[in-house]
Structure 1
């Protein structure tokens, strides 16, 4: 069960006492009291890039839908074609409003029969639930697993050899964006080869007590505990968008660089289709691009982007890249200024600093 917080309105993971034991620096995040860092953001970042790191992501929304063919209904709520999604496979996609704006990004895991697992963002969980329940048939049963399970992300090139001795299945047979039910220490667990770091890895959902046991076992084996700080630098290097910053209800997937999620020619009607069809034929007014600073200055969220002294957009995410050794950002610019090599400027404390549009992702694992 979720541990009550001493801070009014903040929730705590079942692993909260482990944070304290490990000396974590804590921070509020989407209504939860979460670890920002343990050893330090840079050390945790490099652990994931070079070996393996462990994140507690139990704050994420976890929904189980069953009956009433929920996948058929979801097909009308997202721009991606779900008709080819087989049991044991997962699909990353976005929920859209009627204007084509992004309500949230999520992963849809199809299980056997008519059961579907959804993992959504913590900040949008309640709104997502209301939106989905308003569209799903009454014959679909709904389980909110937020308080019943721990969700861990084991990420890095050593994730498979570290996790393999603890599970009763051959992880080499689990391909990217595949999932299955397994046993961990004799306890049932849901495991998926997914993540948010740009590295290989797994996300494991299991009952709270078993999740605490798994956390303790992995930490005792030398796996580095990681907080939200490293999660953010890792996902930024991989150019993985953050909901609420890089995409919002005012941005469409075609503007946010998520064209590969939009399957206009492969599926029928869905909410937001008309706007996306219009953008596909007429073009978008802005695009999310990668930006690399030429100097040591850091482009932060909401800083203004300029071209030849004229404001043309804004930074949505930015910070140092521990893997690459320079400062990077994501931001929206007009499409005519979105090509790699395009010179821009970032306004930082009233001054303009040179930067360039670059190809994303900034980092690709070997």
Structure 2
């Protein structure tokens, strides 16, 4: 089968590439994608998110869906968090390990009722796809990569939820942290989650590529500034959140990284569990 990664010899553009250029974004190659590292000032963008709200293009993140009766069990084989205890609409942070217990990636797992979703780091998209696909049952699980057909925007900051409610015309007051739901936006079903990578409250929107310009216009109407990878990095550092390739890699296990909370007990049933258990003896 063809792997859905585009041409890996060329940098990919997100659906918001032209917007970033028009706003004066300083574009850099990040994990094979042309991404804005900053617009006017990393400091200004950082402070805007801490004080009010900011928007991030995170369309470079890998987005997979798993369908079929075996999807939950297959995810549980790879992901360290407790997938079996998740309820519909819940999101969990977890890790995918190698056989030695090192970290292949840190991920978000979404229980969406009749199927599951997985968000992975852009730099690890091909690696995680290949890992999951290698042991995929022929009939019980269908794996879909929707990265190139969708866009993802993070809206973060203390005013983010109120802003999202205005844009979506939806009340999110009963939506807890690390939860997700489908909703209709501009006549199209989209996925929103109360998640983020800044240490602030906020939401992440996953929408069809053709719809993200409309979302960008709504953000412009509400005077929401766009923020680049530079301030996303300073925000996550300030919040003590790890970044793969820096505080996490295949030589670092979850316990060394201080991420034991993302590993289910007992240590069994997932790749790398035995190696982790032996290190704790």
Structure-1-length-normalised TM-score: 0.73
Q: Counterpart in 2 of 1:17?
A: 18
| 2:193 maps to 1:192 | yes
Q: How many residues align?
A: 274
How far apart are residue 264 of structure 1 and its match?
2.7
Q: Counterpart in 1 of 2:237?
A: 236
CA distance in 1 between counterparts of 2:137 and 2:18 reads 40
CA distance in 2 between counterparts of 1:122 and 1:35 reads 14
Confirm or deny: 8 A CA contact 2:268 2:274 kept in the other structure.
no
Q: Counterpart in 2 of 1:302?
A: none
Structure 1 residue runs without a partner (length 5+): 282-366
Confirm or deny: 8 A CA contact 1:68 1:138 kept in the other structure.
no
How far apart are residue 77 of structure 1 and its match?
1.5
Q: Counterpart in 2 of 1:160?
A: 161
CA distance in 2 between counterparts of 1:221 and 1:39 reads 19
Superposition map of 1:105-184 within 5 A: 105-113=106-114, 115-139=115-139, 140-184=141-185
Confirm or deny: 8 A CA contact 1:193 1:203 kept in the other structure.
yes
Superposition map of 1:261-280 within 5 A: 261-265=262-266, 268-280=268-280
More strand by share: 1
Q: Which has the higher contact order (CA 8 A, sep 6+)?
A: 2
Q: Counterpart in 2 of 1:321?
A: none
CA distance in 1 between counterparts of 2:145 and 2:273 reads 29
Q: Counterpart in 2 of 1:48?
A: 49
Structure 2 residue runs without a partner (length 5+): 1-5
CA displacement, residues 257-307 of structure 1 (integer Å, 9 cap, x when unaligned): 101112233x642211121112222xxxxxxxxxxxxxxxxxxxxxxxxxx
CA distance in 1 between counterparts of 2:64 and 2:277 reads 30
Q: Counterpart in 1 of 2:3?
A: none
How far apart are residue 168 of structure 1 and its match?
4.3
Superposition map of 1:240-319 within 5 A: 240-265=241-266, 268-281=268-281
CA displacement, residues 143-162 of structure 1 (integer Å, 9 cap, x when unaligned): 11111111000000000111
Confirm or deny: 8 A CA contact 1:68 1:137 kept in the other structure.
no
CA distance in 2 between counterparts of 1:77 and 1:173 reads 31
Off by >4 Å, runs of 4+ in structure 1? none
Q: Counterpart in 1 of 2:217?
A: 216
* RMSD of aligned alpha carbons: 1.5
Confirm or deny: 8 A CA contact 1:90 1:177 kept in the other structure.
yes
CA distance in 1 between counterparts of 2:206 and 2:264 reads 30
| 2:65 maps to 1:64 | yes
Confirm or deny: 8 A CA contact 1:45 1:234 kept in the other structure.
yes
CA distance in 1 between counterparts of 2:22 and 2:58 reads 18
CA displacement, residues 138-193 of structure 1 (integer Å, 9 cap, x when unaligned): 22112111111110000000001111122243111111000000112222110000
